[in-house]
A and B are shown apart, each in its own frame.
Chain A
Amino acid sequence: MKRVAYLFLVAVCCLSLVAGCGPKEPETGTPQGEVESKTLYYALENDVASVNPNYRTLAAEHSLYRQIYEPLYFYNHNNGTVENRLAVSHTISEDGLEYTFTIKEGVKFHNGEEVTAEDVAFTVEEAAKSAYIGSTIANFKYAEVIDKYTVKLVLEAPYASFLENVSQLYILPKAYYNEVGKDGFEEKPIGCGAYMFVDRLPGSHITLKAFPDYYRGEAPIKDVKMMITSDATASALALEAGEINIIGLSSANYEKFKAMDNVTVLECPSPHITTVHFNTEVAPFDNKLVRQAINYAVDREFMMEVAVDGLGEVTSNIVHPMMFGHSPNARTYEYNPEKAKELLAEAGITTPMNIGTIRCTSFGEKLAPILQENLAEIGLIADIEVSDISFIDDACKGNYSIGIMGLVVYNGVALDMDAYSILFHSSAIDAFNLPRIANPRIDELFALGRAAVDEAERLAYYQELNELVQEDAGWCMLYSKYTLMACTSDLNVTLYAPGAIYFYDCSWK
């Protein structure tokens, strides 16, 4: 009886196997099935607010834009070269007011229309109007279409970062944009990049498909899905399970993934800023010596070790060496509690002294206890308050005395000191000039640097600026963390500093 039951079971299994194979067989044989099995899954840490680059606000959005849109030039920060994209060449007039670009012929948008000078002029004009990115192409006056493939951009006053910033704008199709309008474009964006936008389910995923007529040749990977996974632990689990191919890696998982055979870890330096900042309108931080003393009191090595597991570069200069304008002669601060105590004594501070509350969001949660301990070592007593994102608002308005923050200043623009005006310029008080220092010489240097056309002259201005900022010590720069990503080992991926991945460069092994 048992044997009969057993046989019956085997028979059922065989039947179901055959039944299961039957309809599936032709499917797996077709190229359709093959393509489907080769979809690339990418973990996007935040949902994109807008697919329109003129309305960009988050870093996550760039991960999408660089796939579907194309800029004039590509700045490869891995080797410091500039590669042509839509532009073939450009000329700059001697007074630095006219930029003439010649663009490639025969490049097509996803709807089949050709990219012309009209589109470039339209893109720059739209970007200049944008509240989000308009400031990156400051001083822009008007665009003039000379012929189908030549466009002239005219400035009101020289702006040194203009070339690099305008070259990184994503070119939009004028005719299509005007036809469908802003909302229609949001639904179905069109660019001339390597991938076409297929659809998007907010909070869930974005689907992309390789553009067959891409001017540099069709991408090797045909289908891409960008999955929105905001939780780092969840995306790491998904990578391990092979459900996602590329993720942003948290430093705590670095060692683990480094040791795994089926995962490749990618890292690159970035000018990311992790910094302590002082409100110079509040005593005792109105005294420069106190701020410098704290700069000497913090144990940066230990902080970096705890917060990002040592995966970064300790630096006390807030201007990263990667940025144009970094000065090797700017004052640096090393861990030296004795010197800190001397400076406090010089400032006439009697310790122990209560200096208020160290405030931060969860970003600085791990750093705050070490800062508290370092301050206690030199006799400054502080509490800690970890709050939600509302702290950023308070910090901008000056409702704090000492804070910890992570900042990004380079997002999609030139790695140039000019980008730092959002931190150091007096007009940024009540925004991200968190120390609230108004130094007229710094404002002047920003203006001089903008107007200077000669590189060496600009560098001199910016280096002086860097030195002033370091001397003022409104910031206590801690370290620059690395950009960390991880991908499954069956994939060839290139990570471009400071943290860009192009699906076009990816391929299956």
Chain B
Amino acid sequence: MTRVEAIKPKRRKKQSQIALVWHQYKKSKTAMFGLGVLSVFVLLAVFAGFFASPESVIATNQKARFIPPSWGRGPHIFGTDEYGRDVFARIIYGSRVSLSIGIISTSCAAVIGGLLGAAAAYYGGTVDSIVMRFMDVISSIPQILLAMAVVAALGANMTNLLIALTVSSIATYARLVRSTVLTLVEQDFIEAARACGSSDLRIIVKHIIPNSLSPIICQMAFSSSRMILTAASMSYLGLGIQPPNPEWGSMLASAKTYMWTYPYLITVPGVCIVLAALSITLIGDGIRDAVDPRLKD
């Protein structure tokens, strides 16, 4: 009886916790702005096919070069580039690449880094030393340099870019999770679980990971904006997505030469990169504030 009673309020509390976080999150105008902007980007990326055909992204047109942003001809609301391609189409198809790079590489890094960090903390000793020294090596190399080295070694394409970005940010997660887990393993409920005979895997999956989730989520929000920027810099350096596929960073790089003559070409992808990175950062800020117990009233 007591057990049933104990579960029921816990369930209600769990629901209300998400609601509580959302309640806190809603209070922040900047966080809501971030969420709004990101939603627009995500919707455009998901329903890109409704706004522009995939062919229009790469199809060149000699007669339509450098049309300034206008509703009239086309319409090309962001104008056309040096090949006569519609910039709007390239931006929304490019957002698929840019956003998915941010999300996928962050998730991969979080999962791999998280597992390594948790294992290091949970087992301690030799495992801890080996894993963490390896992470030290990775984190001692500047992120962009490491990513460039990986791409240079494996070749420039989408998969390798994702691998490069993932590898270069694993260390952050491993450290974060390790320190969180180190404080967790000392706690009584883990001792209790162990005393009940739970397996290591069960303890890690059921107890440790859920309890260390909130710092990871914050970190993910921050690092995915950084991933978008790094991916953009990689493409800018010519190590990212290969032409003619659109990506914000490479659009920025190719527009560089037309900075004076056709400034909209560099402005549009530049503003998109800034907005996407900013909105994700704002969301991260919002989540951090919302889960911070000190801010609860």
B154 at interface by CB-CB < 8 Å:
no
Q: Is B214 located at the chain interface by the 8 A CB criterion?
A: no
Check if A306 sits within 8 Å of B82, measured CB to CB: yes
Q: Residue B243 contacts which of A250, A256, A384, A388 (CB distance < 8 angstroms)?
A: A384
Q: Cα distance A232–B256 when bound, in Å? A: 11
B83 at the interface (CB under 8 A from A): yes
- Tell me if A57 is interfacial: C-beta within 8 Å of chain B: no
CB distance B59 to A373 under 8 Å? yes
Contact B260 A365 (CB under 8 A): no
Mask: chain B, 78-103; 1 = CB below 8 Å from A; 0 = not: 00001100000000000000000000
**CB <8 Å contact, A252 and B258:** yes
Residue B16 CB within 8 A of the other chain? no
B60 close to A365 (CB less than 8 A): no
Q: Any chain B CB within 8 A of the CB of A387? A: yes
Chain A: interface residue total (CB-CB under 8 A):
26
Q: Distance in Å from the Cβ of B60 to the closest Cβ of chain A?
A: 6
Give A residues with C-beta under 8 Å from B: 232-233, 250, 252-253, 255-256, 299, 301-302, 305-306, 362, 365-366, 368-370, 372-373, 383-388
Tell me if B's interface is mostly helix, strand, loop or mixed: loop
Nearest Cβ in chain B — how far from A131, in angstroms?
A: 30
Residues of B near A386 (CB, < 8 A) are: 156, 238, 242-243
Q: In the complex the two chains form, is B261's CB within 8 Å of A255's CB?
A: yes
Known A365-B238, A366-B254: A299·B83 in contact at CB below 8 Å: no
11 contacts between A and B (CB under 8 A): A252-B258, A255-B261, A301-B62, A305-B65, A306-B65, A362-B238, A365-B243, A365-B254, A384-B242, A385-B155, A386-B243
Question: Which B91-120 residues have a C-beta within 8 angstroms of A?
Answer: none
Residues of B within 8 A of A232 (CB): 257
Judged by a CB distance under 8 angstroms, whether B244 is at the interface is yes
User: Chain A's nearest CB lies how many Å from the CB of B158?
Assistant: 12
Size bin of chain B's contact surface: 20 to 34
Distance in angstroms between the alpha carbons of A252 and B243 in the assembled complex: 20
* Chain A residues within 8 Å of B238, by CB: 362, 365, 386-388
Other 15 A-B pairs with CB < 8 A, given A250-B257, A366-B82, A366-B254? A233-B257, A252-B261, A253-B257, A256-B261, A302-B62, A305-B62, A305-B65, A306-B83, A369-B60, A370-B83, A384-B243, A385-B155, A385-B156, A388-B152, A388-B238
In the bound complex, CA of A320 to CA of B289 (Å)? 68
Task: Judge if B127 is at the interface, Cβ distance under 8 Å.
Answer: no
Which residue of chain B is the closest to A369 with respect to CB atoms? B244
The 8 closest A-B pairs by CB, nearest first: A369-B244, A252-B257, A302-B62, A256-B260, A369-B243, A306-B82, A384-B242, A384-B243
CB contacts (< 8 Å) of A250 on chain B: these are 257
A301, A384, A385: which contacts B244 (Cβ < 8 A)?
A384
For residue B58, CB closer than 8 A to chain A, the reply is yes
> Given the complex of chains A and B, what is the CA–CA distance between A366 and B155 in angstroms?
20
Question: Could you say which residues of chain A place their CB within 8 Å of the CB of B254?
Answer: 365-366
